[in-house]
Structure 1
Amino acid sequence: MVGFKGLFTKKTLFGLFLGQVLSLFITSTGFSSSELARRGINAPTSQSLANYVLLAIFYGGILISRRNGMKAKWYYYLLLGLVDLEASYLVVKAYQYTSLTTVMLLDCWSIPCVILLTWFFLKTSYRFKKIMGVVICVAGIVLVIISDVHASDRSQSGSNPVKGDLLVIAGATLYAVCNVSEEFFTKMADQVELLAMLGLFGAIFSGIQISVFEREELKSIHWSSGAVLPYAGFAAAMFLFYSGVPVLLKISGSTMLNLSLLTSDMWSVLIRILVYPEKVDWIYFVAFAAVALGLVVYSLFDKEVDEPRGDDVELGKSKHFDEEADMAGRLS
């Protein structure tokens, strides 16, 4: 039995609070992307570029001022930057085809992906009752897909809801890879190093992708004040989100990060009701109930997640990088 005392430690409360702050940032990015899509601005890579540049400048400056060597190899961050960019591209692209609420809900697909990846790569074990909570959450996702398939007549469902659903699921899968990788690097290397290198390589890949796929699109865009504000809001929210993610990953891990972001669905519904002149399909509320129930079941058995102790993780990671550095020295 787990007592209430362990539930309300400062670390737990801070993790819960930070998770909701990050959830609000994600909702803000979804709202901004939806607004840009409604104004005919379809340049998802360009939206991500500003965030990566901000990360590279801010955290890169801190990293350079430290004048310390890097703890992880640069090519790890190169791959991470590429995967992160494409994950963001797919999700932002989905706003052109489906609704804001659908995108937020289907992002939940990252949860089972994260659990599978942490179990396989980080050796985190999840017991049966924990998995049941995740299964209930996924059931809510299935309801949304069914709703989009059979609701093509819904005025604000998007031009191609099924295509949008598939794009979000693909993006959520890549986000899961990013989250688990970031948890690994946050505990193995350094948060500032992670964000600086992620920003650097993300900006490089964004520039390449923009020059190939979005150059003509950018030329045709008329940047009025109504378009600049959502774009700037997206960049600011993404920068703050990326800045807070490593902190939560270090405290609670990538699974809890994704569970915390489930509440972004609730925030998106509030925005949709208050800002957009449209109604919310009743099936979304059923999906919300399923996701909420799954989250409760998962949280009730939170202590049943068997993760390596912090000291063991740090020791193992340090040994890994030391061995890699020794090997590189011999080769050189």
Structure 2
Amino acid sequence: METKAKDAWRLPLVLFLGQLVAFSMAACSFASSFIANLGVDAPLAQSFCTHLLLTLVYVPILLRRRQKLRIPWYWYLALAFVDVQGNYLVTEAYQYSSITSVTLLDCWTVVWVIMLTWYVLGTRYSFWQFLGATTCVAGLALVLLSDAKSPDAQDPDKMPLLGDALVIAGTVCYAFSNVGEEHCVKKNDRVELVAMLGLFGMLVGTIQILIFERKSIEAIAWSPTMISLFAGYAVAGFIFYTITPFVLKMSGATLFNLSLLTSDMWAVAIRVYFYQQQINWLYYLAFTVVAIGLIIYSLNESSSVDGTATSTEAAAHYQQLPSEDNSTGSGSNLDREERKQQEAHIC
């Protein structure tokens, strides 16, 4: 009964956390697009705020443990560098493209992760998983077609195709970061990973801000609205980095990918109700195609994981049989020797 009660509460909790991750991602997108519409171009500063908040919260927890790092610091530095570049490229894309296109094109990360895990980690995928990834690519191609036909394409201040290219480049960085984080999590705990990402991300961001964005930050007119937007981006990013490991641990990549898909619907709502903008019908078609592709990929990913776990358990049981046979055989041999000794003693 206790197990059933835990399972009954587990699903609503996972769904709630998944939607919280999706909403935090959409909140970051909204803050970035709002800041870009106000004429501020400071993507590194936005990412710095998130990494600063992560450092202030998680580094003291890590120091309180008084333990050495389980993974060399330079690996965390490399992951943080790639993560900062990904955040920079995707956030910079809001200067040129719409919030809906940027959030949907984030799905390119799934494609790059498949390629990296195939060649780097040796992961093998089924035909249906490749079909799902190919379907996602087809839907993302419709996004590019929609942006090419949008009125912003003729606006010299708006270059949606350039924004789309920045997003795709950013997803490459996210893919490297995600694969590296997956490798680190298997050998380490969540707190050390998030703390080191925050610390080294803050250091990398500081250096790049001093080189590239110092004049842009000095030109910002700091108003309560601007401060609220930067603070909101930092809080939303902090929630995203904090809750994502919990969702992956409790439900795996299946529900996580499906939960992130709903962030695109939040982006549509933001564009329609806050910006009063019309959305091309190709976007709705692209969203449907990407949703189908992710569902196909995620469901087959779940089944392959279950099949691997089942075969592993079966192999474990199979390996126990010889030991049992050996113990039984050794026991019978001992009985025979005892009988022979008793017979000899009687004679």
* TM-score range normalised by the length of the shorter chain: 0.7 to 0.9
Partners of 1:103 and 1:43 in 2: CA distance: 17
1:265 counterpart residue number: 264
Query: What stretches of structure 1 of length at least 5 have no aligned partner?
Result: 313-332
Matches within 5 A, 1:41-56: 41-56=40-55
- Name the structure 2 match of 1:119: 118
SS of the equivalent of 1:230 reads: helix
The C-alpha deviation readout for 1:75-115, integer Å capped at 9, x for no partner, is 10000010000000000000001111010111110011122
Give the unaligned 5+ runs of structure 2.
313-347
Counterpart position of 2:304: 305
Greater helix fraction, Structure 1 or Structure 2: 2
Contact 1:127 1:304 in 2 (8 A): no
CA distance in 1, matches of 2:213, 2:128: 46
Q: Percent identity?
A: 45
1:181 aligns with 2:163: no
Contact 2:28–2:237, Cα closer than 8 Å, also in 1: yes
Shift of 1:147: 1.5
- CA shift, 1:247, in A, is 2.2
Indicate the residue corresponding to 1:137 in structure 2.
Answer: 136
| CA spacing shift, 1:257–1:158, aligned 2, 3 Å | farther
The CA deviation at 1:302 is 3.9
Larger Rg: 2
Give the Å deviation of 1:249: 3.4
Aligned residues: 305
Shift of residue 156, structure 1, vs aligned partner: 8.9
Provide Cα deviations, 1:209-237, integer angstroms capped at 9, x if missing partner: 00011111111110111211111110000
- 1:11-51: CA deviations, max 9, x gaps? 66654443322111100000000000011111000001111
* Cα distance, 1:9 vs structure 2: 7.9
Taking a change above 3 Å as real, the CA distance of residues 156 and 182 of structure 1, as seen in their structure-2 partners, is: farther
Matched, 1:24 2:12: no
Change (3 A) 1:279 1:302: same
Find out whether 1:211 has 2:210 as its counterpart: yes
| Stretch deviating more after TM superposition (49-58 or 115-124) | 115-124
Tell me the equivalent position of 2:323: none
Matching residue of 2:220 = 221
RMSD over aligned Cα, in angstroms?
A: 2.5
Q: For 1:305, what is the secondary structure of its paired residue?
A: helix
2:150 aligned with 1:148, yes or no?
no
Q: CA deviation at 1:61?
A: 0.3
Distance 1:247 1:235 in 2: 19
Contact in 1 for aligned 2:18/2:247 (Cα 8 Å)? yes
CA deviations over 1:145-167 (Å, ceiling 9, x no partner): 11212324568997111110100
Corresponding residue number in structure 2 for 1:82: 81
Counterpart of 1:36 in structure 2 is 35
State how far apart, in whole Å, the 2-side matches of 1:156 and 1:258 are.
Answer: 34
Query: 2:279 is matched with which residue?
Result: 280
How far did 1:201 drift?
0.5
Structure 2 residue matching 1:70: 3-state secondary structure = coil
- Contact in 1 for aligned 2:150/2:280 (Cα 8 Å): no
TM-score with structure 2 length normalisation?
A: 0.81
Give the match's secondary structure for 2:41.
coil
- How much has 1:304 moved relative to structure 2? 3.4
Q: 1:220 corresponds to which letter in structure 2?
A: A
Distance in 2, matches of 1:167 and 1:77, equals 24
Following superposition, the deviation at residue 124 of structure 1 comes to 3.3
